[in-house]
């Protein structure tokens, strides 16, 4: 087969229509065409065409992934899910994710560390809540464990939360107020030791 014509598409000049033996065969990005050195007169085998299509789909997947990463950091599991949802086949998706990991654009270790620190210090959430959120994002258990182990002390975050929200319970009886704050901290995922320390509740053995 021979490339007989390459022409820009009307609706998107960045994409090119490729004709083989005068018949339309496929479209591809102008950058992919330049990178592969395709031009009229180039002879192609069926294997070449398949390789070109693979390269084009991979380039599209990486470009879409870069767009997603421009909004916020993501885990490898999140990225894989978004690429599949976009319609890229599993092989292309895996190849794109692998390349992004190699380039450190996807890094679950870094994502987990930053996520834990932000959620505790800024979001005022406890470690149990943060762990659950990372599980939902597809981060592996061992990676989560390391991030949690390196996390800042959640006690300070719990105290800040109580100081911020305590005024809304000011008119309540002390026991009711403490109960409400206890429930609040528990919903936020703080551990019992942290809650007891912040609310000055003695341990059962004391």
Q: What is the pLDDT of residue 94?
A: 96
Does any domain span residue 205? no
Last residue within a domain, chosen from 62, 88, 106: 106
Which residue carries 């870069």 as its tokens? 66
Residue 141 exposed, middle or buried by CB count within 10 Å (0-12, 13-18, 19+)? exposed
Alpha helices in the chain (DSSP H): 30-36, 46-71, 76-86, 90-102, 108-121, 127-136, 141-149, 154-165, 174-187, 192-198
Q: What is the pLDDT of residue 202?
A: 57
Give the number of other CB atoms < 10 A from CB of residue 39: 10
Q: Is the pLDDT of residue 171 over 90?
A: no
Do residue 192 and residue 151 come from a single domain? yes
Which pLDDT band, with edges at 50, 70 and 90, does 204 fall under?
A: very low
pLDDT in tens, 4-56: 988 888 888 788 888 998 989 888 888 888 888 888 988 888 898 888 888 88
Do residue 38 and residue 93 come from a single domain? no
Last residue within a domain, chosen from 85, 106, 127: 106
CA 132 to chain centroid: 15
DSSP state of 152: P
Instruction: State pTM to two decimals.
Output: 0.79
Q: Is 40 helix (H, G, I), strand (E, B) or coil?
A: coil
Distance of alpha carbon 123 from alpha carbon 134, whole angstroms: 14
Do residue 57 and residue 98 come from a single domain? yes
Do residue 38 and residue 63 come from a single domain? no
Total domains in the fold of the chain:
3
| Structure tokens, 133 | 């959120």
Q: Is the pLDDT of residue 102 over 60?
A: yes
CA 140 to chain centroid: 13
Query: Which residues have a Cβ under 8 Å from the Cβ of 153 and sit 6 or more positions away?
Result: none
Nearest Cα to 155, choosing from 112, 202, 199, 118? 199
Task: For residue 194, give its domain range.
Answer: 108-198
pLDDT in tens, 109-163: 999 999 999 999 999 999 999 999 999 999 999 999 999 999 888 999 999 999 8
CA distances from 190 to 20, 124, 126, 161, 185 (A): 64, 9, 4, 11, 6
Q: What is the pLDDT of residue 27?
A: 85
């Amino acid at each position: 087969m021979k490339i007989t014509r390459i022409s820009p598409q009307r609706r998107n000049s960045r994409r090119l229509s490729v004709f083989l033996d005068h018949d339309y065969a496929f479209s591809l990005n102008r950058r992919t065409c330049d990178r592969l050195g395709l031009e009229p007169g180039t002879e192609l085998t069926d294997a070449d065409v398949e390789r070109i299509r693979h390269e084009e789909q991979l380039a599209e997947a990486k470009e879409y992934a870069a767009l997603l990463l421009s909004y916020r950091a993501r885990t490898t599991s999140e990225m894989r899910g978004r690429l599949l949802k976009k319609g890229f086949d599993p092989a292309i998706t895996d190849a794109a994710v692998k390349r992004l990991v190699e380039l450190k654009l996807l890094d679950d270790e870094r994502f987990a560390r930053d996520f834990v620190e932000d959620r505790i210090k800024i979001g005022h959430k406890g470690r149990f809540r943060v762990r659950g959120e990372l599980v939902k994002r597809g981060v592996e258990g061992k990676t989560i464990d390391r991030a949690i182990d390196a996390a800042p002390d959640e006690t300070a975050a719990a105290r800040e939360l109580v100081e911020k929200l305590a005024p809304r319970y000011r008119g309540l009886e002390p026991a009711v107020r403490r109960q409400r704050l206890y429930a609040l901290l528990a919903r936020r995922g703080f551990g019992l030791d942290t809650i007891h320390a912040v609310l000055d509740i003695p341990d059962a053995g004391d």
